[in-house]
């Protein structure tokens, strides 16, 4: 992959032969090489067919899918964890406060030390 020497920054695709996948890169706009495609589909048609990999056999890492349920679950877990930590800290602080409030009752018995 050769990004070119200019500063245009156009989103293009190239074929990564080690991972056998089309990847997104920013093309400078001039020079470069022949491993440059306007669309991912063009890259797939040209390169994956030649490499022996069937189209659609694995998702492209460039195309990230977002699972909304996973995000909601993670956020819910974080909120729950913060609530548990806060309630535990509050409980400990209250218990320590009660211990210091207890006064010693004077007794007539002899205390041994």
Average pLDDT estimate for 19-43: 85
Comparison of pLDDT for 79 and 48, the residue scoring more: 79
Domain locations in the chain? Answer: 10-51, 66-102
Task: Name the residue with tokens 């699972």.
Answer: 67
Amino acid 100: pLDDT: 63
Looking at the whole model, is its pTM more than 0.75? no
Are 29 and 7 a contacting pair, CB within 8 Å? yes
For the stretch 60-103, pLDDT in tens is: 555 556 677 888 889 999 999 999 999 999 999 988 877 766 66
Residue corresponding to tokens 């990999």: 53
Fold that domain 10-51 belongs to in CATH: Factor Xa Inhibitor (4.10.410)
């Amino acid at each position: 992959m050769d990004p070119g020497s200019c500063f245009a920054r156009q989103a293009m695709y190239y074929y990564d032969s080690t991972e056998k996948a089309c990847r997104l890169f920013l093309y400078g706009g001039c020079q470069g090489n022949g491993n440059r495609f306007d669309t991912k589909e063009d890259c797939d048609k040209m390169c994956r067919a030649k490499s022996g990999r069937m189209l659609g056999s694995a998702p492209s890492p460039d195309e990230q899918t977002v699972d909304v349920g996973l995000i909601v679950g993670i956020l819910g877990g974080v909120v729950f964890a913060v609530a548990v930590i806060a309630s535990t800290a509050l409980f400990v602080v209250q218990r320590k406060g009660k211990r210091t409030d207890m006064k010693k009752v004077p007794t007539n018995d002899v205390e041994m030390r």
